[in-house]
Structure formats: C-alpha cells, structure tokens
Amino acid sequence: MRICRATDYNDMSRKAAQIILAQIIMKPNCVLGLATGSSPIGTYEQLIEWYNKDELDFSEVTSINLDEYKGLSPEDPQSYRYFMNTYLFDHVNIDKNRTFVPDGLATDSEKSCAEYNANILKQGGIDLQLLGIGRNGHIGFNEPGTVFKKETHCVDLTESTIEANKRFFASEADVPRQAYSLGIKNIMQARKILVVASGEDKADALYNAVYGEITPEVPASILQLHNDVIIVADEAALKRF
C-alpha cells in the first residue's frame, strides 16, 4: 500500500488522474472500475482536460461502475449512470456500449447482480479500480459489517451514508434506502486499486483503513491485503498520518 500525499483537492485530483492516464496509455483497451460521489469529480475533470488536448484516448476503454441506487432510472439526475454521463462519458470518446452501471430498476435483484458479476469476468476483470472512502470506512456501498467474500449485491444503506448523500437530493426522504454495489471480493480482484480521499472528515476512516485492524467493521481495511493499492489523499485527509 503506497501513500501519495497531495496538498489539496485539486492536487489530489491531478495526481489520481495521472495514474489513470498511465493505465490507459500502457493498456489502451483496459477495464476501469469507476466511482461516483464528490471525491472523483476533480479527477474526471482533469482526464477530460487531457482528452481535449489530445493527450488521452478512451476509444478502447471499458468501464465498470461500482454502484447504483436501487429504484432510480438511468435518466434520473441522481442516478449514478446520469452522474457518469455528466462528469465523464459525455465529454470523451468512450463507447457507451462498453460502459456498465448496475441496473437500478432490475426487478430480480439476485439475477441482475449475478449477471453483473458474470460481465466483469467476460470483460477480463478490472485493471484499475477507482475508489473513494466513506466516513464510516465504506468502499462502494459496502457498509460496516459487510462480509468480505460478497460479490455484487443489494445493500441496505446506513443512516450515516444516507446523511452524507442527502446533500445531492431535495431532502433526506428522497435518498434511496438501498443500492447495488460491487462486493469486497470484486474490488479485491482488481489488479490495481486507486483510492482518493480529501478533507478532514475522511481522516479517521483513512487512518483506520491503513493502520487499523482488518475487520468488516471498517470495510476499507481489507485493502491492506491487496498487493497494489495507491492512496492519493490531501493533507487534511492525512492529518493522522
């Protein structure tokens, strides 16, 4: 596990984007595991900037997203498919037929999750998985207590996650109570993992993930067992290091 220290959010975003840039240059047809939320937005903005300068080509890239809210359509402005289109896909030359996001409207959750797992294998596995980290140590929507061996599954969101995400909705009541998420097993099978973290509110979770006990109560702690993890975090997130 390597720690890359950044001065602030913008510096963190640029350093993380450089790692993704290198991955695409080394393997143009790579499979990127992508994340949503406020943490990676700056990283996506930097990638778009390089694309507009003809320094980056997404034409052969495949993407597999971490998660999606249950009950939201791809057209819903709060869905993660909409997020990815808005912050990345609509601005680069990626083939949207090769961008995969869990189906928030699936009527058969178990079947949909099994199909998502099968598709990861069909694509050859994830070369680089981008992650944020929740204030309670969650990665994806794998909340504290999640069994490490789980693959894609339907998650009941904790109150802390609902509280953290309500800023994106009209009210807390509008935040979905369930979501689909890649499981810890899927994440750990990625060849490389890139974690981005910014802000003092992530400091405890990040410290516990790196130096704490490996426990399902801090889902990100399992990353200690992966052989290729890079954490790019700003000074505020690294205040306990």
**Among this protein's residues, is 97 annotated catalytic?**
no
Q: What single-letter amino acid sits at 95? A: D
Is 91 one of the catalytic residues? no
Q: Which position among 67, 68, 127, 234 bears the catalytic label?
A: 67
Annotation says 55 is catalytic: no
Instruction: Specify the amino acid at residue 182.
Output: L
Q: Is 234 a catalytic residue?
A: no
Q: Which of 65, 68, 103, 138 is catalytic?
A: 138
Whether the CB-CB separation of 8 and 37 falls below 8 Å is answered with no
Burial class (CB in 10 A: 0-12, 13-18, 19+), 130: buried
Positive or negative: CA dihedral 152, 70, 16, 160: negative
Sheet holding 99-100, edge to edge: 2-6, 229-234, 192-197, 128-131, 31-34, 62-65, 99-100
Residue 3 bridge partners (DSSP): 231
CB 87 within 8 A of CB 41: yes
Q: From the candidates 68, 103, 136, 165, which is the catalytic residue? A: 136
Q: Which of 68, 103, 127, 143 is labelled catalytic?
A: 143
Return the beta strands (E) in 110-209 as ranges.
128-131, 153-156, 178-181, 192-197
DSSP SS3 for 9: helix
- DSSP E strands: which ranges in the chain? 2-6, 31-34, 62-65, 67-69, 99-100, 128-131, 153-156, 178-181, 192-197, 229-234
* Residues acting as catalytic residues: 67, 136, 138, 143
